[in-house]
Structure 1
Amino acid sequence: MIDSQVPAFWAGLGLPGLADVHTHFLPPRMERRVWAHFDEGSPLIGRAWPIRYRDSAEARVKTLQNLGVRVFSALAYAHRPDMADSLNAWTLDFASRTPGCLRSATFFPEPSAPAYTAAALSRGAEIFKLHLQVGAFDPRDPQLDEVWGILEDAGAPIVVHAGSGPVAHGFTGPGPIGDVLARHPGLAVVIAHAGAPEYSGFLDLAERFERVRLDTTMAFTDFFEEMAPFPPALRPRLRDLGLAGKVLLGSDFPTIPYPYAHQLESLQRLNLGDDWLKAVCWSNANNLFGTTPHG
């Protein structure tokens, strides 16, 4: 499949488009630094990772529109103190002027986190992002206890990079975030990358906790299968979770080394059925966020 065929893919399933909960739009200075890490082969990346879609933010929004991505996110994540609040200001403003973009926010373990998390929610934040690998912080940090409680009460989904892929670092794996969920079982956590490479442990969490979901970001693609193949024996569990509303389409656009279409092609070749594809590519996110977040 190539990008020009993506509209035929979702139209063939009878869908009005795609809902991708894991895309990135960042402040320009931060974006340049992130892309440089990929170009330089940061140790946290672990391999060559050419970025496919190196366009302006406006051009990338247009690319998503042309693909038929009706709902997407502007996920940014703080990797040190005193940056989350300003990131939230940027991503929330970006969403306010970008139809279809979920209002995105982040947080970090620091004394001000409860206040700026509550402020982001008051500004309409619909989705949050944490990156435990890059941030290298423990989600069980006492400074986050109040934040988890705020988000649990609000029901706001938090996309968490909790898996140890592509390189284990920090407080990754199902254990740390699992401990948070044991204390806050109502949290709406979305495990990024389907939890690669600890797929089974994160499937366990999605099966155990009512509001835990997985996203498909880069999982099942040739690129990830080389590093962390998804065990075929887990496919029935993945199918059941998808049909239960617990698997969401994610791509990592624009920071991917292959065409956007390959993510969809990779889902298709799992052979989990059209009903599963419909749920993952549209219905599950639609039920969680609505098809047009704010216009």
Structure 2
Amino acid sequence: MSGPTSDEQVPAYWRGLGLPGLADIHVHFLPPSVLAKVWAYFDAAEANYGMAWPVHYRGSEPDRLETVRRLGLKAIPSLAYAHRPGMASWLNEWCTQFAARVPEAVHSGTFFPEPSAASDVRDALTAGARLFKVHVQVGVFSPVDRLLDEAWGVLAEARVPTVIHAGSAPRPGEHTGPAPVAELLRRHPELVLVIAHLGMSEYHAFADLAEAYDGVHLDTTMAGTDFTEQFAPMPDGYVQRLADLQAKVLLGSDFPNIPYAYAHQLEALDRLELGDDWMRAVLWENGARLLGLQPGPARDL
């Protein structure tokens, strides 16, 4: 069975693997004003990144929810992220509302280096958050900023996963790269971190951290696709490392802000030729474990 080449083929693909659906940990549903700014940034990608980035899924929120349900996502993160002071608390409130109105929602939270960081995390956990997101590149902050230390401690104690974009692709930032994350883990070795985009383009260095720390995982967001292989190709020897890290690799997609159909992410993973057991672990088992999902009957589509 080869990977799907269209979204219509996706449900048949995961069913063929004997899965109940997909556990995608890297999906964004954002407040309309924030999403509009994200899309405007990608519309200007040739100036920002030197390449076009046409967002593939620009429908309304109901349309986008129906799309991921049709694809077979059994959980839908909102995965908002703060990029300036004072933003985290209202984003967390919006994520709480999203979780209340969307039955499959993964209640998400975020935080930013500011005096309220620890209380923002505690408040979000109290409200029900079970997944957090921080974006080192967009937020232009160090993950080891001392204003974040208590917040990280709270998350480490709670063992709630945090998706962190800290790799230097598609454009290096002042605080991107594996060194700050390595220092963060030295301070808080019990953290459950999900390294977004496999840590591209520092693939091997972030894989080292996944090997060294029980709580460190890698998500596949945009990795191996035709689009990202142009500017952040997987290096020699890396596919074998993904095989060895089978229990640490999670499906991520970056829906809806991707410049291709969702199916292409699954196609890109399939063509790594790591086998059905690896695909089952990545597309469902590992993400379902972190997100607390229970296997169930396949959704009728």
TM-score normalised according to structure 1 size: 0.96
- Alignment partner for residue 78 of structure 1, among 59, 67, 82? 82
- Does the CA-based 8 Å contact 2:164-2:196 persist in structure 1? yes
Letter in 2 for 1:276: W
Asked if the contact 2:82–2:88 (Cα under 8 Å) also holds between the matched residues in 1, the reply is: yes
1:162 matched to 2:161? The reply is: no
Structure 2 residue corresponding to 1:289, chosen from 285, 288, 291: 291
How do 1:261-272 residues align onto structure 2 when only pairs under 5 Å count?
A: 261-272=263-274
Partners of 1:60 and 1:265 in 2: CA distance:
21
Give me the whole-angstrom Cα distance separating, in 1, the residues matched to 2:233 and 2:25.
22
Q: Quick check: 1:260 aligned with 2:262?
A: yes
**Deviation of residue 19 (structure 1)?**
0.8
Alignment RMSD (CA, Å)? 1.3
> What CA deviation, in whole Å up to 9, does each residue of 1:165-214 have, x standing for no partner?
00001211100111000110000000000000000000000000110000
- Please identify, of 97-106 and 258-267, the stretch whose mean Cα deviation from structure 2 is larger: 97-106
Q: What is the CA distance between 1:44 and its match in structure 2?
A: 5.0
The equivalent of 1:204 in structure 2 is 208
Tell me, yes or no, if structure 1 residue 233 matches structure 2 residue 207.
Answer: no
Aligned residues: 291
Note the 1:11-90 alignment, pairs <5 A.
Answer: 11-41=15-45, 44-90=48-94
Is 1:141 the counterpart of 2:145? The answer is: yes
- Tell me whether 1:3 sits opposite 2:7 in the alignment: yes
Offset, 1:42: 7.0
Contact 1:46 1:166 in 2 (8 A): no
Which has the higher mean CA deviation after the structures are superposed, 68-77 or 19-28? 68-77
Q: How does 1:159-198 map to 2 (within 5 A)?
A: 159-198=163-202
Q: CA deviation at 1:93?
A: 1.2
Q: Distance in 1 between matches of 2:78 and 2:48?
A: 21
SS of 1:48's partner is coil
Q: Partner residue of 1:116?
A: 120
Distance 1:160 1:228 in 2: 18
Any idea what the Cα deviations from partners look like across 1:196-241, whole Å, max 9, x if unmatched?
0000000000000110000000011000100110124111211121
Contact 1:79–1:134 under 8 Å retained in 2: yes
The answer to whether the 8 A contact 2:46-2:53 is kept is no
Q: CA deviation at 1:72?
A: 2.5
Deviations 1:129-186 (A, max 9, x none): 0100111101111111100100000001000001000000121110011100011000
Q: What is the match of residue 99 of structure 2?
A: 95
Kept after mapping to 1: 8 A contact 2:46/2:52: no
CA distance in 1 between counterparts of 2:23 and 2:136 reads 24
User: For residue 299 of structure 2, what is the aligned residue in structure 1?
Assistant: none
5+ residue gaps, structure 1? none
Give the SS at the match of 2:12. Answer: helix
How has the CA–CA distance of structure 1 residues 292 and 254 changed in structure 2, closer, same or farther, with 3 Å as cutoff? farther
Residue deviations 1:38-77 (CA, integer Å, cap 9, x gap) = 1122765442100000001111010001111112311111
* Structural mapping, 1:120-131, within 5 Å: 120-131=124-135
| Aligned-pair identity (%) | 55
| 1:7 Cα deviation from its structure 2 partner | 0.5
* 8 Å Cα contact 1:80/1:135 also seen in 2: yes
Match for residue 276 of structure 2?
Answer: 274
Flag as ranges the 4+ runs of structure 1 deviating above 4 A.
none
1: distance between equivalents of 2:112 and 2:130? 17
Q: TM-score, structure 2 length as denominator?
A: 0.94
1:246 aligned residue: 248
CA contact (8 A) 1:71 1:292 kept: no
For 1:213, give the aligned amino acid. H
